Structure 1
Amino acid sequence: MTPQIEELNERLQVLHRHTQDTPIYNPVFQLGLELSRDLEGGRKSLQDIDGLVSALECEGLKARAQKLDRMLAPIDADRNLTPFAVREGDDFESFAQRWADPMIHVVFTAHPTFLLTPVQSQAVAKAASSGDVNSDTACVAPHERTQITLDSEHDAAMQAISRAQAARDRAVRAIYRSAKSNWPGEWKSLRPTPVRFASWVGYDMDGRTDIGWNTSIRYRLAEKSERLAGYAATLAGIAPDLSARLVNAGEFAGRMAALFGKDMSDPAALSHAANSLTANHPDRLTSLAPIISELEDRAGAETDEDTAIELLTAAAAMRADGLGMGWVHFRVNSSQLQNAIRRRVDPESKLDIASQAALNAIRSGLEAIEPLDANFAALAIESSTAIRQFIAMQQILRHVDADAPIRMLIAECEQPQTVLAALYFAKLFGVEDRIDVSPLFETETALEHGGRFLDALLAEEAFRDYAKKRGRIAIQTGFSDAGRFVGQIPAALAIERLQGRLAEAMEANGLTDVAALIFNTHGESMGRGAHPVSMKDRLEWPLSPWARRRFARRNIRLEPEVSFQGGDGYLWFGTAELALATLANIASNPPREADPDAPTDMFYRRTDLSLDFYRAIRRVQHMHLVSDTYSRAITAFGLGLLNDTGSRRSRRQSDLNADRKMSLRQIRAIPHNAILQQLGYPVNVIAGFGTAADTNREEIANLLTESERGKQMLRLLRSADALASIKTVAAYGELFNSAYWASRPYRGTEEHLTDACLTLAEYLTKDDRAGVFRRLASRLRVDALHLHRLLDATPGSRDGWGTPIPDREEKRRSIGLLQSLRLALLQHMFLRIVQVPVFSRSNDISREDVMEMVFTLRIEDALAQLRRAFPTNFPSIDDYAIDEPSDYPDGGDRGYERIRRDYIEPIEQAYALVLRISTAIANEFGAHG
């Protein structure tokens, strides 16, 4: 830590002590003011601030590496192979059964959480892999952020999956070697699949219009080419004939991917690509089944045991992944399916899709379906997004990979009719035996009525027949929007009850002989559903032991599935060492296992207390969600505090007035949660917990103490609270306080800023944001007082029951300094914009409009308008070959360079630092959003 940072740390601590004398004193804002005065007085420059930010960026990157190290330790490879070895008391049958089915499905999704640049991600992963997390190994100079595209997201996902596959191969070899030592006559008959990988990058159409059907086909072919090359490399030295065949097949798939990367709006190009892919060709490979069988036969006859292990390991990888880097998840919105089914069963749109009449119509349609063949031309001309996805799946299963089933995820699915509509199209295109239809539960309505939804769906004969044919029932539970709409803790409790209702519905409808595949798409930070304290908590948070036992007691096989999202999630597989450590931690805490005879956790026994507690937390969270105060505060800066972190961006409002009325439902869950981190308080984790216990504090405290689930909630809560600062929330409101600006040059201080401060003071007299932030901070403070009283009444909660918050005070100081620096930079931007001269009347936008753009951090828009109003590049008279001389222009009107130097460039530089601070704060929180 640099001397300057140490000095600022000490100053912040001195300022904090003033709160003992004046409770409403704000040390974060005061330090921001002092830094602002240094900056405006010339005692510090933006370059000086850049140096401070760089030092704190380093601390943030180290914090990311330290979190990985803490969650995954030990990183040592030999120790991380131990969970895959034979345990004491194992016989061959139990060992074979343990690894026959995946302990978990891991899905690499591309939610916009690509916070770090690739160089920073590599540095963090390298530091965590080596255990060198306390030095500056993770610190790299900030590189210019490049635009994140769908292709770059897909490339990152494939790299993470590739490392995960290599780690799984190491685990499979360990399984075989351990079995060989214990059962020398039987080990070759093992067929282990310890983990399965999947991705929806390039296949997720929910909320996107930038993914064409040929994008998905191209990606699937490219993945096939990449995976076949990997298989071929594995077999090159032990089965060269099979390796050569796979090389040729991979090269063929690569050529096909290139063809589908061309302009498919050209009928000739499409026809050539389609005919090339579908024609008989010696290198066209659509199933690995014969090769897997050949590998296992050769292994059985092989006398060299190491060679046999390699052959069987390759076969295991093929069985798990198929002809791709993993399985794929298509995703559509329920409305897209509903619109599509109307065309088939209700062409005149007379039926309410939620009605019994619509249900009857879909039932009748299912019974009368005659499967249809389609081709790539039909795919190209289809206008319905949902139908297009089913045709694409048909073509993939027919011409790319016939082995790996495909998931069809349905977002915002709240009616059984929507699932039956998906079954209708799966049957219509002849793929119902290879498609797993999976409704997503994450809206308030879906969570509230999800149990009745499942009862109704599983009561449908067509669905039961389909489930038995597939051998599983698949559902998806999302913590992102659920955490935004009802709060993270209520969301987790509602989701586990929904999971329990699935077990009950499966038993009631005679479906205990099929598996329950539960895909929990939780996020990577404390604000998005993932638990930050330990890998055990992270795995149990979305699929609790209580929920697992609901299935175990009914003898229903669980297929747990989790997402590792975007750049944050891929860090867990950022190196070979981290990938193996992640799989080892999962194997040590297998999420599909549960002891059916374990006593019921107190939290679920005392439903008289826990249910009321849940409802009370949810009421507080709902109060914030619908509150104009909360939404106005959260959107006070628009989305300008956030970096672009994905190819699916949250669009900014084009209407200046719309920012004042922006609803939280207009922004996605990730930016919502990310803004909470940036403002300093994870409301959707903390709020309501203390208030909910206030009328029955002692009993709730005892309940949480005696319950493992309760302790887990408290560990999550304490992790969030350790980094939270209501003072910071209040500080941002003071930026819009007219009285602050009017008082700042009082008593002759900063006289050079008097006019600028007066302009700000006058402009902000009509602004509501200062009052909004004060009201929000007051509400949070009252709630926090209740929380701290609860924590004081809960023995052991302060240290997290043996899991203390690491480096809590150091993290709080780093975040406090970052926030103070950002407050100074924002004030610098505000002061600069009001000093810009009045624009020419020829421009169609006012100075006040540009000021408001800066206040809401729409900096790119503001700078574009300023550059338009004050150009510095002019046509030169010397460009013209005119014989007659001219003394004009004489340079007297070329003063715009000064405006650019003194106003436009400082705003641009300050905002770049603001966004770097955002990255550093997110790193201290452990993830983006």
Structure 2
Amino acid sequence: MKSLADLEQRLGDLHRRTSETPLFNPVFQLSLDLSRLLESGAMSLDQCAALVAEIECEALAARARRLRGLVAPVAPAANTRALKATLGTGDFAAFAARWDHPLVHTVFTAHPTFLLTPAQTAAVAQAASSDAPVDPACLAGARADVTLAYEHAEAMQAIAHAASARDTIVATVLDHAREQWPDQWLDLNPLPFRFASWVGYDMDGRTDIGWSASVGFRLAEKAQRLAFYSRQLAAIDPKHPLLDELGPAADYAAERAQDFAGDLSDPAALSVAANRLTAGDPRKLLSLKRYIAALDDEARATPDAARAVALKTLAAAMRADGLGMGWIHFRVNAKQLHNAIRRKLDPNGTLDLSSKGAIVHIRRAISEVKPHRSNFAALAIESSTAIRQFLAMAQILAHVDADAPIRMLIAECEEPATILAALYFARLFGIDDKVDVSPLFETETALEHGGRFLDALLAEEEYRAYARRRGRVAIQTGFSDAGRFVGQLPASLAIERLQGRLAQAMADNDLADLAALIFDTHGESMGRGAHPCSIADRLSWPLSHWARRRFARSGIRLEPEVSFQGGDGYLWFATPELALATLTRMVENAPGVTDENAPKDPFYQRTDLSLDFYRAIRDHQHEHLESRTYSRAVTAFGLGLLNPTGSRVSRRQSDISADREMSLRQIRAIPHNAILQQLGYPVNVIAGVGHAAEGNYEEMATLLKDSARGQQLIRLVRAANALASVKTVAAYGELFNSAYWASRPYRGTEEHLSHACEALAEYLVKDDRNGVFRRLASRLRVDALKLHRLLSLLPPAADGEVTGEDTRRTIGVLQAIRLALFQYMMIRAVSVPVFSRANDVSRDDVLEMVFTLRIDEALAQLRRAYPTSFPQITDFRLNEPTDYPEGEDHGYEAIRTRFIDPIEAAQALNLRITTAIANLFGAHG
């Protein structure tokens, strides 16, 4: 068994044995086969690494094929043809109405999803762009240090490719209009896409982003965008007079960005940087309005059609992005706002922010507040995170970009008073005309009571007046925590209902003439609220046609906003070809467009069935989340199954000092989803669907079959189920089965392991994880039987909707190799000679660290217990002679070689397997 083909063949043979012995576990048996090879010396770790490398290449290639399939065609010429096919002819006014507003806002978010090394990212992107094979050399590339600056740079590169692709689309639209309406086309101002980012501005759940970093990032973005504008204009006319202004303005912004990149904790240093930024300077540019007007006028005046299109394209980019790479989103937590408003209006802490009295109090404060001037000193000394964000926004609007509005996202927002508090601070600092305050609905409570929240908020006169000034009502719906707490299917259906309630609330409160901006934040994988089957599903899954029709029938213009998250999301824009293909597919499947006269979907008519279906899945998912069994299984290995994939910590910062036993609410949503992938079963997608159909299979199957939304639900479930394996979940529990270790050398086949196996058997007698995994696997299996019964009544999946059996088998092989490596580490950990307790760390503590994959900590303790580097007698220059020590002390090199270094090497392979499994799933978490 030295190749992937060999292992897949062996796993297939073992699977056939389950028909004879239902409890037989082929994944764990293959891991035992491999473990015996490793322990006998018939296979070395290097040979195991070669196997992993072979599968890594295949997993990267599979990911490239999947990405290419989602955005195909990829060739630029093919996408130009596809775009032209959507343009049509007819009425110019209708054409302009379609293209003068964004079809979609695209937000480049971050969070820990930077799974691939830079070399692997480039290899996948190149393969997806050109259908070329993945170069195995990419496996040798080192992992990046994923700092906030790294994430920001990656986001800016993705936006740069997206902006170039948008320019191509805008130029094509303008060319088409020029041909169709030669007397009117110059009145067209295409704005098909707006881009934004929260990387560097998202303060929810983290304390490591200083305000000066946010200002510095915004200045750097300004410098980068102005440089782009200069290059675009120089390509039109190398001697254009506006270049004499744009070039120096870019240089000025870059200089100021450098000022804010340093340590500004010293008041003197901050004073220098702030005074440079706030001082008058002929190179300081705060608005592009004059430049946009000049370019439009020049386009009208020039007889050169190509030049006119190029000038209009540049003006369109300026109109869309302003003085930055895109718009920016600040984000805070509702609790941070509550603390801030209490400090201002309720210093004694007597006000209940969930009460009507609080709303009356804040409403009065908003009506009475007078705008305050502020400066960077006020920002530097402010202790409240929320107030600091408003002060930072005020400085950015005053000294970086006066035109581009800023989004203020509020996480865990469950009370209308929270939004009014944000409005208070926006007005306090004189920026309420440039800030879009947006509540995030993601928690269980927010989703359950979101409709009442919106009814109450939109009934507030202060809010309605503010929304009219801004021209929109903005909300954010999140799929990460929602999908974790109530399951992905119930979360999507709950969010859909919430979106419908927004349409109703806007109509009821005479706000139907405003736009509804709905930011659907999700990720790339099925675990983070994105649909894996097609780009059409990806765009309609979070904002369904049912929800869209609610807005269309009320005459409300939708401004849909989607998220491309971190390393996974940026892959869609990793090359110019992929960026153009992605945006073209978004034009073809515009998420704000629907046919309001389409036939009614029975899923929304048969609420007696669909609501019960939703509630049953939600309740089933909730039982898992609250179950000690599920929690213990998911946290059995801590976060040791995962690579570090972002600058935002995977455990909530308030819990870093918590005990080794974690609760699910301590782990963030993306790592939680990623662990489910690694354990072999996307519980938060699949679980509960079979249970929800029980007792009503035929009628439920008919409803799902006849409903477009129902079919979409089933496509998601099938995609997840095609990669899932209950046997794999059970296999992880066998690692902690005392009886397994006691029995392994029982027949004398592995006598050299008898002492280690006996020690493991004795140590694990009291360990609960074997029983935990068995109980979880049993629950999942019962529900899966019901799911299979439901699926058997539905039409089979169409070609390409789900991955083939070969992908599931490849994942099974990876899981078996990993389980063999875990056994390898456990045997070596228990075989390390006993050492004395040091600094309250015992040998048993080290063993538990290994069993929970806290390998770095365990190795640090072992290296301390068995050092290999000592002071030498020859290091000293003493006059007095000594006869001791005799000979040379070599330390503990043998222990390092036999135990410590192999454990480290095995864990490195484990983490490579993690990446390969995620690639076969299509994303991290």
TM-score after normalising by structure 1: 0.98
CA distance in 2, matches of 1:84, 1:756: 65
Q: Which amino acid aligns with 1:896?
A: Y
Deviates more, 1:295-304 or 1:241-250: 241-250
Matched residue, 1:19: 18
> What CA distance in whole angstroms lies between the structure 1 residues aligned with 2:548 and 2:137?
41
State which of 226, 229, 244 in structure 1 corresponds to 2:227: 229
* 2:759 counterpart of 1:759: yes
| Separation of aligned partners in 1, 2:730 and 2:656 | 24
Mapped to 1, the partners of 2:3 and 2:302 lie a distance apart of 67
Is contact 2:89-2:180 (8 Å) kept? no
CA–CA distance in structure 2, aligned partners of residues 420 and 899 of structure 1: 64
SS at match of 2:90: coil
Give me the whole-angstrom Cα distance separating, in 1, the residues matched to 2:78 and 2:510: 43
User: Following TM superposition, by how much is the alpha carbon of 1:843 offset from its aligned partner in structure 2, in angstroms?
Assistant: 4.7
Deviations 1:740-784 (A, max 9, x none): 000000111111110000110000001000000000000000000
Q: Do the aligned partners of 1:539 and 1:589 also contact (CA within 8 Å) in 2?
A: yes
- Superposed, 1:75-86 pairs within 5 Å as 75-85=74-84
Task: Tell me if structure 2 keeps the 8 A contact 1:734–1:740.
Answer: yes
Unaligned residue ranges in structure 1 (runs of 5+): none
The one of 811, 814, 831 equivalent to 1:835 is: 831
Indicate if the aligned counterparts of 1:656 and 1:852 stay in contact, CA closer than 8 A: no
Give the deviation of 1:137 after TM superposition. 4.0
Specify the alignment match of 1:178 in structure 2. 176
Note the alpha carbon deviations across 1:506-534, whole angstroms, 9 max, x for none: 00000001000000001110111000000
Equivalent pair of 1:443/1:481 in contact (CA under 8 Å)? yes
Equivalent position of 2:105 in the other structure: 105
Amino acid at match of 1:508: D
Asked if the contact 2:120/2:138 (under 8 Å) is kept, the reply is yes
User: 1:818 is matched by which residue type in structure 2?
Assistant: L
C-alpha separation in 1, matches of 2:549 and 2:213 = 41
1:238 and 1:602, CA in 2 relative to 1: closer, same or farther beyond 3 A?
Answer: same
Asked whether the equivalents of residues 205 and 653 of structure 2 are also in contact (C-alpha less than 8 Å), the reply is no
Instruction: Check if 1:845 corresponds to 2:845.
Output: no
Q: Tell me the alpha carbon deviations over residues 562-613 of structure 1, each in whole angstroms, 9 at most, x when there is no partner.
A: 1000000000001000000000100001111111111211100110100000
Residue number in structure 1 paired with 2:216: 218
Counterpart in the other structure of 1:411: 411
Residues 546-585 of structure 1: pairs in structure 2 closer than 5 A: 546-585=546-585
* Cα deviation 1:419-455 (Å, max 9, x = unaligned): 0000000010010010000000000000000000000
SS of aligned partner of 2:140: coil
Give the whole-Å Cα distance in 2 for the aligned partners of 1:759 and 1:3. Answer: 30
Other structure's SS at 1:799 match: coil
Distance change in 2, residues 1:657/1:281 (3 Å): closer
Q: Percent identity?
A: 65
Structure 2 equivalent of residue 197 of structure 1: 195
- Taking the aligned partners of 1:82 and 1:601, their CA distance within structure 2 comes to 33
Deviation at 1:28, TM superposition (A): 0.4
Counterpart residue type for residue 197 of structure 1: F
Deviation digits for residues 884-923 of structure 1 (CA, Å, limit 9, x no counterpart): 4434323575341101111110000000000000000000
Of 138-147 and 300-309, more deviation after overlay is shown by 138-147
Equivalent pair of 1:120/1:138 in contact (CA under 8 Å): no
Aligned to 1:739: 739
In structure 2, distance between residues paired with 1:688 and 1:260: 51
Amino acid paired to 1:598: A
Of 480-489 and 123-132, more deviation after overlay is shown by 123-132
Q: Structure 2: 5+ residue runs without aligned partners?
A: none
Q: Which residue of 2 aligns with 1:899?
A: 895
Q: Distance in 2 between matches of 1:233 and 1:113?
A: 32
The CA deviation at 1:883 is 4.1
Q: Is the 8 A contact 1:164 1:573 kept in 2?
A: yes
Once the two structures are superposed, the pairs formed by residues 147-546 of structure 1 within 5 Å of their partners are: 147-239=145-237, 240-546=240-546
8 Å CA contact 2:867, 2:891 repeated in 1:
no
- CA distance in structure 2 between the partners assigned to 1:658 and 1:285 by the alignment: 49
> Judging changes above 3 Å, is the alpha-carbon distance between structure 1 residues 529 and 138 closer, same or farther for their aligned structure 2 residues?
farther
* Greater mean deviation of Cα atoms: 6-15 or 537-546: 6-15
Q: Which residue of 2 aligns with 1:874?
A: 870
CA distance in 2, matches of 1:698, 1:529: 28
The letter for the 2-side match of 1:226 is Q
- Change over 3 Å in CA distance of 1:150–1:842 after alignment to 2: closer
Task: Flag the 1:406–1:460 CA change in 2: closer, same or farther, 3 A.
Answer: same
Deviation for aligned residue 1:151: 0.2
Shift of 1:63: 1.0
Greater shift after overlay, 82-91 or 784-793?
82-91
Distance 2:862 2:674 in 1: 29
- What is the distance in 1 between the residues matched to 2:396 and 2:655? 43
Amino acid at match of 2:346: D
Cα distance in 2 for residues equivalent to 1:839 and 1:457: 64
Provide the aligned length of Structure 1 versus Structure 2.
Answer: 922
Deviation of 1:91 after TM superposition, in Å, equals: 1.7
Q: For residues 419 and 653 of structure 1, what CA distance do their matches in structure 2 show?
A: 25
Cα distance change of structure 1 residues 500 and 651 upon mapping to structure 2, 3 Å threshold: closer
Counterpart code for 1:687: A
2:821 counterpart letter in structure 1: L
**Native 8 Å contact 1:64 1:924 kept in 2:** yes
Write the distance in 2 (CA, Å) between the matches of 1:411 and 1:826: 39
Separation in structure 2 between the aligned mates of residue 609 and residue 660 of structure 1, nearest angstrom = 43
In 2 relative to 1, CA 865–291 (structure 1 residues): closer, same or farther, beyond 3 Å? same
CA contact (8 A) 1:126 1:138 kept: no
Structure 2 contact 866–891 (Cα < 8 Å) conserved: no
Is the Cα contact below 8 Å between 1:61 and 1:139 reproduced in 2? no
Residue 24 of structure 2 aligns with an amino acid whose one-letter code is Y
Q: CA deviation at 1:348?
A: 1.1
Q: 1:581 to 1:657 in 2, by over 3 A?
A: closer
Give the aligned CA root-mean-square deviation in angstroms. Answer: 1.5
Equivalent position amino acid for 1:53 in 2: V
Task: For residue 657 of structure 1, report the CA deviation from its aligned partner.
Answer: 11
In 1, Cα distance between equivalents of 2:342 and 2:839: 50
Letter in 1 for 2:212: N
Contact 2:869 2:891 in 1 (8 A): no
From the superposition, tell whether residues 184 and 227 of structure 1 become closer, same or farther in structure 2 (CA, over 3 Å).
Answer: same
Q: Could you tell me how far 1:393 is from its partner in structure 2?
A: 0.5
Structure 2 equivalent of residue 821 of structure 1: 817
Residue 888 of structure 1 corresponds to 884
What secondary structure, in the 3-state scheme, does the structure 1 residue paired with 2:328 have?
Answer: strand
* Matches of 1:545 and 1:153, distance apart in 2: 34
8 A contact 1:124–1:138 mirrored in 2:
no
- The residue type paired with residue 802 of structure 2 is I
Is the contact made by 1:72 and 1:581 (CA closer than 8 Å) also made in structure 2? yes
2: CA distance between counterparts of 1:445 and 1:139?
49
Distance 1:342 1:136, change over 3 A: closer
Residue deviations 1:372-425, cap 9 Å, x none? Answer: 010001000111100010011011111100111000000000000000000000
Give the drift of 1:144: 2.4
Question: Mean Cα displacement is larger for which, 96-105 or 262-271?
Answer: 262-271
CA change 1:152–1:658 in 2 (3 A) is closer
| Residue 684 of structure 1: aligned partner | 684
Aligned with residue 926 of structure 1, among 905, 918, 922? 922
